[in-house]
Amino acid sequence: MTIASTAEYLRDVWPSELADVVFEVAAMPAALGASPGVDRWRVFPNENRVVLYRLPIERLSHLHHHDDLHRRMMIETCVFRAVAELLGKDPWDLAPDRYRNH
């Protein structure tokens, strides 16, 4: 649910860039990526597709507070970083006003 709501938020902010992008959730990557460690997401620019990996996000993220708010923030961060990678932007540039008051 968090991935879907964050993706919808970003579609509202970047409608033309994300109109045809498909967001998927998979349990784990099927193969190791180029980065060391286990990928939390993978971007397929030629297919307009972003895949987020549930188990690495849930189990390999180091939260300083284990509660619903911090888990949601970790998931949102992964979605923002994946979309930023897809668009070739800095994650903070995707929604500069979203966290201005925090």
Where residue 51 falls (left for φ over 0; alpha for ψ -120 to 50; beta otherwise) is beta
Using DSSP bridges, classify how beta strands 49-53 and 41-44 pair: parallel, antiparallel or unpaired. Answer: antiparallel
Query: Cα separation of 24 and 38, whole Å?
Result: 17
Fold topology of 2-94 = Zincin-like (3.30.2010)
Give the global pTM: 0.86
pLDDT truncated to tens, each residue of the chain (102 aa)?
A: 999 999 999 999 999 999 999 999 999 988 776 667 888 999 999 999 999 999 898 888 777 777 788 888 889 999 999 999 999 999 988 987 765 554
Give the containing element (helix H, strand E) for 44. strand 41-44
